[in-house]
Structure 1
Amino acid sequence: MKKIAIIGGTGLTQLNGLQLISSEKIDTPYGLPSAELITGKLHNKHIVFLARHGNPHAIPPHSINYRANLWALKHLGVQSIIAVAAVGGITAAMAPACLALPDQIIDYTYGRKHTFFDDDTTPVTHIDFTAPYSSALRAQLIVAAAHANIQLVNTGTYGCTQGPRLETSAEIKRMERDGCDLVGMTGMPEAVLARELQLEYAALAVVANWGAGKTEGEITMTEIEHNLHAGMANALGVLEAFISSTE
């Protein structure tokens, strides 16, 4: 079977049930990853787990060393990555606590190290990014969700903002006009770096709140934490079904 990695976002700093085999601190050409890379067994399958924001959660989205994270996973022989992320919902189907499997992405970030091809030792390289997520991985996750009887919105566009602040209502309106269904802060450059390293990559998004202006009042951490608790339970159910069915 292909070696699988799970990148855990907000609300998923460790993978319960993972039988620890090793924990490695890997120094990469780009610096240190967010946390030690945990290798273990889940449903008798070897899995690598990485907490995107560190463990404990301490690294904001714009400060994550995405290049080190992806390089380290490739170094360990990972071939497929499922990236779990907390997001905001923009369109009607993306209600809080639901799971979504985006198939497109729009990048609104700036100033992030977004490529491995940026120095004098690498040739000018343009990768195809027409479909930013692996169709094969997405199909497997859709089947896994059905087997686990967990509802999954299996299409959508993820808009990636800079953070760490949440968006204004005007920004969310603009993103909806642009075609975004979800808003998050970590989808890029993670997805494109995975493509540059020829790694299969899919995002499993947990909707933690409505985007700014979609409801009355302010977005609160109490609301986010409540929805994350419910949504992450379903995300773990999908991951377990996916891993147990992987050959």
Structure 2
Amino acid sequence: MTIGVIGGSGIYEALPLENTRTEDVSTPYGEPSESVTLGELAGREVAFLPRHGADHQHTPTDASYRANIYALKSVGVDRVISTNAVGSLREDLPPRTLVVPDQIFDRTKHRSPTFFGDGMVVHMGFADPYCPEMVHHLASAAEDAVDDTVVERGGTYVCIEGPQFSTKAESEFYRSQGWDVVGMTTIPEAKLAREAELSYATVTGITDYDVWKEDSEVSLQEVLENAAANQDAINAVIERAIRTIPEDFESEAWSALEGTINTPTEAIPEETRERVELLAGEYLE
């Protein structure tokens, strides 16, 4: 198995990887945010990729989501653990809490949400946007790994475009819907992971109360301080999840493309077929 990890450089620096190497991966969807770092942990191969680049130079809108997921697929990844910094929409989920969400509400506007198109129509099921098997494993790893940190299992992550934080009206609307956390980076990553037939889930670290709380309005300084405080707990969760993932782990995501391609193979342009060969080749034979 090869386990992909998408997050900040602090995770890579904390993971006790052995036999590390880097690979520069070119993709039909442009260059990934950074080179892929590969190494070994507890006998499992791990592929690490920083979503925003090594120096956090890519915005939530401009991060190379398609290239990143394609690059991980190309080095043999079949399951992905992601990390996100998020704001809390609930009084009982204070900063420095970890949440492993199981639902998403998408409010992004300017991102490419699919590998397909250009003469190839794919209608992918997305009712459970995070792989349920990976959600369960990641939440269990979180509960076991951090004794002094509250872990919330399940919840809805509303993904906004950014890079600005929410308005007060938006924040109150999200709360009125019963959603749990708000962030900027799980979409289109989760959609692309599903199209690439990767088992994908995320552990989020709460950094703030967004802007709905009267005595607390989100600022970059608060986000960075609490993100740093969350880092040790998230690192422990990632390492625990990698070490304990079962050898017989199975995921329905691994066959997610089956029955979803609406265009006859012979009608798909050759250029498109070549571009998606890694992702959908077995379904186009």
What is the CA deviation profile of residues 23-63 of structure 1, one whole-angstrom value per residue up to 9, with x for unaligned ones? 11111000000001000122342100000000011111011
1:242 aligns with 2:245: no
What is the CA deviation profile of residues 70-127 of structure 1, one whole-angstrom value per residue up to 9, with x for unaligned ones? 111111110000110101111123210110000000000012111112212x2x2111
Instruction: Flag structure 1 segments of 5+ consecutive residues without an equivalent.
Output: none
Greater helix proportion:
2
Q: Hey, which bits of structure 1, 4+ residues long, moved more than 4 A?
A: none
Query: What is residue 99 of structure 2 aligned with on the other side?
Result: 100
Aligned with 2:135 (options 138, 141, 154): 138
1:80 aligns with 2:79: yes
1:3 aligns with 2:28: no
Query: What is residue 31 of structure 2 aligned with on the other side?
Result: 32
Mapped to 2, the partners of 1:93 and 1:15 lie a distance apart of: 31
Mapped to 2, the partners of 1:132 and 1:68 lie a distance apart of: 20
> CA 1:13–1:34 in structure 2 vs 1: closer, same or farther (change >3 Å)?
farther
- Secondary structure of the residue that 2:151 maps to in structure 1? coil
Query: What is residue 277 of structure 2 aligned with on the other side?
Result: none
Given residue 12 of structure 2, which amino acid in structure 1 is its aligned partner?
A: Q
Query: What is residue 19 of structure 1 aligned with on the other side?
Result: 18
Q: Which stretch shifts more, 237-246 or 75-84?
A: 237-246
Shift of 1:13: 6.2
Given residue 191 of structure 1, which amino acid in structure 2 is its aligned partner?
A: A
Mapped to 1, the partners of 2:3 and 2:244 lie a distance apart of: 13
| TM-score where L is the length of structure 1 | 0.93
> CA 1:8–1:211 in structure 2 vs 1: closer, same or farther (change >3 Å)?
same
Shift of 1:213: 2.4
Q: How does 1:200-211 map to 2 (within 5 A)?
A: 200-211=199-210
Instruction: Flag structure 2 segments of 5+ consecutive residues without an equivalent.
Output: 248-285
Of structures 1 and 2, the larger Rg is shown by 2
Q: Which stretch shifts more, 43-52 or 29-38?
A: 43-52
Shift of 1:217: 5.1
Q: What's the RMSD between the two structures over aligned residues?
A: 1.6
| TM-score where L is the length of structure 2 | 0.81
Q: Calculate percent identity across the aligned residue pairs.
A: 37
